[in-house]
Amino acid sequence: MKIRALILVVVAGLIFQPGPHDSQAAPRFVTIGSGDSAGVYFPIGLAIAKMLNGRRQEYGIRVTVEATQGSVFNINAITAGHLEFGLAQSNKQYQAVKGLAEWSKKGPQTELRSVFSLHHEFVNLVVAMDADAKALAELKGKRVNIGNKGSGQHQDAINALLAQGLNPEKDIFPEIVSTSKAIDLLQDYRIDAFFCTLGHPSEILLSATSGNRMVRFVPLTGPGIDQLIRTREYYTKASIPVAQFYPGAQGPAEVETFSVVATLCTSSRVSTDVVYAITKEVTNNLDTLKKQHPALADWTVKTMRSGLSAPLHPGAIKYFKEAGLIN
């Protein structure tokens, strides 16, 4: 199977005009794997690519962004050499490095490297009001989308269900599609609820809470969830400001849940100067990038190394040392 045949390719910066650097040496093309084109990863990837492409005469690098199935897909594509960079949840990065979950048969992905972390991603459970489920345990017997298998949110959903004592294959009727498709299924009364893991505010969740079929955010709390957070170092408690971002949603103004961190990953095979260039440009233009999506509002140079379980790439280390951000 040819991976690139399955991916929507979007060229950031559109048409590239030749510049002084282009006439001296052939540009190096690198690709960032993002996620669902309706999600948060995709516009963030485009913003990073646009920034680097604006300095292509200096670095000789041209960046494209691909909409993909998400974290697992991106990590596998990076380690296989099909992508140079990819956005991935911190839990998937951790599991790949340790050889767990989807990598239990392949073993530890020793070539995977971290570049930096971005924003917190919340595990969200959205339920139709007519489904009459105000708690995680009440999903039993319901039709629930748990996310496509190439995404980190798929495992987050399974972890949440298991923590509550629900079997994802027996206690619910599972759907396994992307979040954008799940919204259509919910509005068509073909599912009762869906899980998704993403930063807030989210265009995709704004759409989900603005349809004719009314929905609510359901808390992901309780002893089982507390135990899950204690035993998985990549999970932290979080709170969703529902009323602030999603006025069409019913129920409480704020909902408790747990979260992970979005990270940018690469491979040890990617050259130091390419990773250095991306790390430098992103760090130096953090305020500009933060304006590209509200989910990045709390992103700072101090949080750029939180939630990273794969070793830092030498290119990232080089810049962080140069900037005095690490010893």
pLDDT of residue 14: 37
Q: Are 176 and 148 within 8 A, CB to CB? A: yes
- What is the CATH number that goes with domain 121-260? 3.40.190.10
Which residue matches tokens 């396994």?
Answer: 176
CA separation for the pair 87, 100 (Å, rounded): 19
Which whole number is the average pLDDT over 114-132? 96
| pLDDT one-digit tens code per residue, 192-218 | 999 999 999 998 999 999 999 999 999
The two three-digit tokens of residue 11, written as one number: 């060229």
Instruction: Supply the pTM of this predicted model.
Output: 0.82
Per-residue pLDDT band for 144 (boundaries 50, 70, 90) equals very high
Beta strands in 163-271 (DSSP E): 173-175, 193-198, 215-217, 236-240, 255-267
Residues forming beta bridges with residue 239, ordered by sequence position: 256
Task: Tell me which CATH homologous superfamily contains domain 3-118+262-322.
Answer: Periplasmic binding protein-like II (3.40.190.10)
Domain with CATH 3.40.190.10 in the chain: 3-118+262-322, 121-260
Cα gap 48→115, rounded to integer Å: 13
Tokens representing 95 are 């599991």
Residue 295 CA to residue 13 CA, distance in Å, equals: 22
Q: Which residue has the higher pLDDT, 238 or 5?
A: 238
Alpha carbons 135 and 218: distance in angstroms, whole number = 6
Residue 84 to residue 34: CA distance in whole angstroms: 12
pLDDT at 26: 78
Which of the two residues, 12 and 158, has the higher pLDDT score? 158
- Of the CA atoms within 13 Å of residue 68, those in its CB half-sphere come to 30
What confidence tier does 165 reach under pLDDT thresholds 50, 70, 90?
very high
To the nearest whole number, what is the mean pLDDT of the chain? 91
Residue 37: pLDDT band (50, 70, 90) is confident
